[in-house]
């Protein structure tokens, strides 16, 4: 890594840099001109729920008779694309529309991969829908969709005891920070009993935290709720081979072939 690029991976360091918007400038846009998040969420939520219900229903039909269906192509990709078109000008994750769609897709895909890999967890969720938000937050922490954020130093600063000069570039490792053992007990495990499941950095932090976080969460929750309503069993195909995103800053699956067993079966 070049001398003027500094990598920070501890949660305290990453949070400190994200909070200090006077000294560090980055990719998150100014949010003052955006519609109020609550207003957008209220207008978009019925559309999100209806679209998620239709996509899951179509995926179940495609998987009839035990045939595999790619849940990225069938659900995780089209939902955020449709939402972005339904609410033009409002970024799903605070980046460009293309980056936003890819990150919101990776959030959904990562949640689906976790449930398809862990049948006992899926059964637990079907029996207790109140745990769905916890699973989404733990997925954000464990499988952070946007791994890295870049910032440029605007004024003399210090992060983690390291002096920084104007013009220095920093890389904030959100994925590593979200598994910081100084902050999280058993950091590499999805746990349903964390006292503060929202306490992670997947959507950034500080004044420029992702303005579309609530909308992204709403999409993931809508998909998981519809799965629980429509699908009795969810599993990866027996010969599943991970197909990770080739984008260096992204963490997700390009394909997710699964078999769905509907309730009536």
In a domain, 188, yes or no: no
Q: How far apart, in whole angstroms, are the C-alpha atoms of residue 141 and residue 57?
A: 28
Question: What range does the domain containing 87 cover?
Answer: 5-27+36-183+200-262
Q: Is the pLDDT of residue 33 over 60?
A: no
Better pLDDT: 213 or 166: 166
In a domain, 223, yes or no: yes
In a domain, 191, yes or no: no
Per-residue pLDDT tens for 2-18?
Answer: 556 899 999 999 999 99
Residue 84: what pLDDT?
83
Q: How far apart, in whole angstroms, are the C-alpha atoms of residue 175 and residue 35?
A: 29
In a domain, 41, yes or no: yes
Q: Which of 81, 54, 120, 68 is nearest to 237 (CA)?
A: 68
In a domain, 177, yes or no: yes
Q: Is the pLDDT of residue 35 over 80?
A: no
In a domain, 194, yes or no: no
Q: What is the CATH number of the domain that holds 235?
A: 1.10.630.10
Secondary element (H or E) of residue 215: helix 213-230
Assess contact for 171 and 5: CB atoms under 8 A. yes
Residue 2: what pLDDT?
56
Per-residue pLDDT tens for 127-172?
Answer: 999 999 999 999 999 999 999 999 999 999 999 999 999 999 999 9
In a domain, 138, yes or no: yes
In three-state secondary structure terms, 155 is: coil
Q: Quick check: pTM over 0.85?
A: yes
pLDDT band for position 29 (cuts 50, 70, 90): very low
Domain count, the chain: 1
Assess contact for 178 and 200: CB atoms under 8 A. yes
Q: Which of 121, 159, 153 is nearest to 139 (CA)?
A: 121
Per-residue pLDDT tens for 54-98?
Answer: 999 999 999 999 999 999 999 999 999 998 887 665 544 444 445
In a domain, 179, yes or no: yes
């Amino acid at each position: 890594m070049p001398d003027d690029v500094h990598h920070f991976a501890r949660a305290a360091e990453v949070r400190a840099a994200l909070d200090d918007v006077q000294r560090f400038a980055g990719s998150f846009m100014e949010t003052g001109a955006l519609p109020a998040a609550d207003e957008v969420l209220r207008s978009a939520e019925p559309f999100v729920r209806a679209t998620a219900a239709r996509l899951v229903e179509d995926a179940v039909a495609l998987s009839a008779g035990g045939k595999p269906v790619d849940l990225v192509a069938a659900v995780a990709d089209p939902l955020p694309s449709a939402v972005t078109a339904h609410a033009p000008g409002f970024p799903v994750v605070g980046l460009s529309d293309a980056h936003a769609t890819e990150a919101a897709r990776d959030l959904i895909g990562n949640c689906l991969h976790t449930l398809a890999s862990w049948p006992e967890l899926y059964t637990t969720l079907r029996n207790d829908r109140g745990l769905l938000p916890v699973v989404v937050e733990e997925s954000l922490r464990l499988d952070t969709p946007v791994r890295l954020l870049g910032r440029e130093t605007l004024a003399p600063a210090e992060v983690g005891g390291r002096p920084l000069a104007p013009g220095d570039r920093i890389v904030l490792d959100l994925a590593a920070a979200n598994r910081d053992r100084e902050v999280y007990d058993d950091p590499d495990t999805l746990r349903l009993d964390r006292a503060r499941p929202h306490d992670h950095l997947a959507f950034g932090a500080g004044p420029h935290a992702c303005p579309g976080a609530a909308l992204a969460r709403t999409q993931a929750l809508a998909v998981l709720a519809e799965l629980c309503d429509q699908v009795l069993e969810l599993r990866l195909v027996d010969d599943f081979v991970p197909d990770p995103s080739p984008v260096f800053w992204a963490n997700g699956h390009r394909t997710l072939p699964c078999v769905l067993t509907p309730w009536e079966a």
